[in-house]
Structure 1
Amino acid sequence: MVLIREVVQKALATGYLTLASETELRQLLQTTKYGWEDLNAFMTLQQAVMAGRVRQESRELIRY
């Protein structure tokens, strides 16, 4: 099973959050019991997106 922090690590490493990864994160957050490490990773991803260090495919599609 994929962990939230694994999805986050990939997005942070590439600087890009794909639609598939966003969908996976939503499902994991809704259906998985997660620990503080996963919650912390998710918050780190949110901060990275807000700071512009990670781009979101979904937001790029909205612009076009």
Structure 2
Amino acid sequence: MKSISFRKDLIGVQDELLRFAYKLTTDREEANDLLQETSLKALDNEDKYMPDTNFKGWMYTIMRN
């Protein structure tokens, strides 16, 4: 079961990640797809995230890769 704190952090960065995805793709639909893929990867890899570290940076790294 995913932690509530992790989900709140994930929801909290969605707008920023969408803007970043749009900068990477320059296409609204592709940006939305990239955001969805990134969010799913983060949820699948929650156990690899170290609490009290830079969550937003971790998410940006997932998106770039």
TM-score range, shorter chain: 0.3 to 0.5
- The structure that is strand-richer by fraction is 1
- TM-score where L is the length of structure 1: 0.35
- TM-score where L is the length of structure 2: 0.34
